[in-house]
Chains A and B, each alone.
Chain A
């Protein structure tokens, strides 16, 4: 008796649930690969966090898909003759979600917070700024220690996101529990690992261009499950579709796919001077590193591991980038040359190399292919798979010979190279050091002349390609999958989801 009642109830529930599916047209549901960390632009560091900010927090400036800097909260800007002053004019029709008006004082307060909040991760990004001068109600001037070519790109990312000074002062380091910005959507609620819900901000200066009442971000780490959710109609779009799922998504008429080559890279970092572990042939002899690079068929790797969806690469910028140095195209595989280099270095019988690799599917697949290619040249790679937090800490400590790791990429080329290749830089885990490279990369960083920058990067590239402390392998392509009823989505190389103009056609 009890059983039949329960069965009936269950069935009824199932039917009701089925009819309720897809009944929320005014809500855009986006699946993210992982959950965001703290929702405070000054404290956060995750990629998915930035995706949420795209709707939540407006920035001083934004970028185009071609990486040009365009106005957002700042309408125009100019550098002084000596490059040491940046004057910004601001929109005068902007309010924060709590009603606080956005003005020059607010910009000053934000820069101050990014530089001085103890928890702030934006300090190094704004290290060239020595002071902020309020010139008028909607005009500010940033004073710089020296010209900084990367600054505008920083202001197009988290360092340029404006939070309400009122809310920031009240909440202090707890701001991220209830973030208040001036973006087209305001924070509604967050359930960790479940959802982040934003609702439309009616007083946004551009509210007419945003067509969803609410946006819900759902972290769904498993790529198969993410796609299944899209196919079943539980979500409207997802980011970072696995390249291996591309064929399945493209075969579904209810789904459209969009993609953009990312700004980042993946490769193998070789420890050249970080502690005792660098004291081996791999750290000392560039010919071995060159041989490793030559043993790889990067196009084949892209085909085998990523179904050809990604981009082969040998530099910190993808071949599609204006900063890519075409004097050094992605090299063809040359096993003979690799063998010759090994022999020249005294390893005609081959040599061992231990590479640490994150213990997740893609890096492991990648490294297995690399392993088999390198073995043909006589490089016997052994893989030590480590969980990411361990890998990172070993790498920083210099407890590794080689490490498979990448970088998500920055709008300005400086962000992909300076931190990794200059002496004493924060992310230089190989501890590579070359005064010439330092000088070139510093010049590129402090010049506002594009020509000078490009030449500096090219010159540095010539040295770095020869020295090969990082063997670059490929560039990820961001792949989004969307319900085919969604229109107005534009793929950007920064991987962000800009909601402006996006609509869901009912029908």
Chain B
């Protein structure tokens, strides 16, 4: 098991390097000069040139890359061109926010998606199954931004039940923190719930027809036990993998939801950074995201092996 994990980690290193080179170069190909973008209305050529020198933007791209990756390895991701704040500090501020959002969205998705999936598999071909599928399809097709704005207008403006946007750190006021995050987490979780529901349904369906389920039924076990203990546990393996992968996607994909609910998370950070050509921030985020994705993949693989005893021997 340990050697399996080690092997995966070693494979991850060149992946991260490749991603970082790719993103670094691609970003430099973007039109628009970061210093000019920063300058906005005020463009004093002397100051602009000083800033280009200060942020080493006049160096050849390979030199810029090597300097950057060298510093990154020492834990220095540079400073934001726009606000002068250290990139690492910015990421440190934003990451917990997005993780909280993604976790809550995942809880919503699991609470809705899995029971719905089981239910519709068990009731296959009945109106229940039909309705669940329609709901799931809607969950996948309704865009987040529309659902978000509708919820804000209804829940916050009309009913005044929940705050329309913003963020309170968990450590500061846990109850309010969760309250503020309820709507965005729900919005972000809907599409996911639908995906989970569809996957749970098909995994359950294939398991429900298998011999051991028939055996369990033949033994005279209560149907609930058959479904939850025998069938569901076996259907769980692909769902766990999927969940882990979806979690990584959630973190990267929270962009729109964070924009609508003005949650100061990772997604908002990256969007603003791209528009402002705040290179250091974009690079830092991409690196951290890439590492995060690879880590989630690794976690999924480990979970897979743990859940499936047959794979453990290999």
Contact = CB atoms under 8 A, between A and B. Distances in A.
Contacts of A18: 160-162, 179
B36 interface: yes
Interface stretch (A84-92, A198-206, A390-398): A390-398
A13 B175 contact: yes
Q: Which range holds the interface residue count of chain A?
A: 35 or more
Interface string A178-196: 0000000000000111110
A408 B84 contact: no
B149 interface: yes
Given A20-B176, A121-B42, A192-B90, A177 B85 contact: yes
A3 interface: yes
Contacts of B45: 426
10 contacts: A13-B178, A17-B182, A35-B272, A38-B82, A177-B85, A194-B166, A225-B260, A229-B164, A232-B157, A407-B41
B38 A45 contact: yes
Given A228-B157, A229-B164, A426 B44 contact: yes
Interface of B: 30-34, 36-47, 50-51, 54, 80, 82-85, 90, 93, 107, 111, 115, 149, 152-153, 156-157, 160-167, 175-176, 178-180, 182, 259-262, 264, 268-269, 272, 275-277
B145 to A, nearest CB: 9
A423 B279 CA distance: 33
A433 interface: no
Contact of B111 (A6, A120, A192): A6
A176 interface: yes
Interface stretch (A215-223, A364-372, A499-507): A215-223
Contacts of A40: 84
A193 B175 contact: no
B156 A392 contact: no
Interface in A374-420: 386-390, 392-394, 396, 407-408
A191 B166 CA distance: 12
A130 interface: no
Given A21-B163, A37-B38, A121-B42, A192 B85 contact: yes
A231 interface: yes
Contacts, number: 168
A120 B50 CA distance: 10
A125 to B, nearest CB: 9
A74 to B, nearest CB: 24
A191 B265 CA distance: 11
B36 A396 contact: yes
B82 A37 contact: yes
A194 B277 contact: no
B83 A222 contact: no
Nearest to B281: A192
A16 B32 contact: no
A221 B90 CA distance: 19
Contact of B41 (A16, A194, A408): A408
Given A192-B85, A232-B163, 6 more contacts: A45-B42, A119-B47, A193-B269, A228-B153, A228-B165, A408-B41
Contacts of A121: 39, 42, 44, 47
Nearest to A264: B41
Contacts of A222: 259-260, 262
Contacts of B167: 194
Contacts of A386: 31
A258 interface: no
A427 interface: yes
Given A13-B182, A234-B156, A389-B37, A191 B175 contact: no
Interface string A1-37: 0010010001001101110110000000000000111
Nearest to B31: A390
Top 3 nearest A-B pairs (CB, nearest first) are A17-B179, A194-B264, A389-B32
A123 interface: yes
Given A45-B39, A192-B264, A393 B47 contact: no
A336 interface: no
Contact of B47 (A6, A120, A173, A231): A120
Given A38-B82, A191-B264, A234 B182 contact: no
Among A118, A173, A195, A222, chain B packs the most CB atoms within 10 A around the CB of A222
Contacts of A194: 166-167, 262, 264
Contacts of A392: 32, 36-37
Contacts of A37: 38, 82-83
Contacts of B84: 38, 40, 43, 173-174, 176-177
Given A17-B180, A191-B264, A192-B90, A427 B38 contact: no
A320 interface: no
B43 A14 contact: no
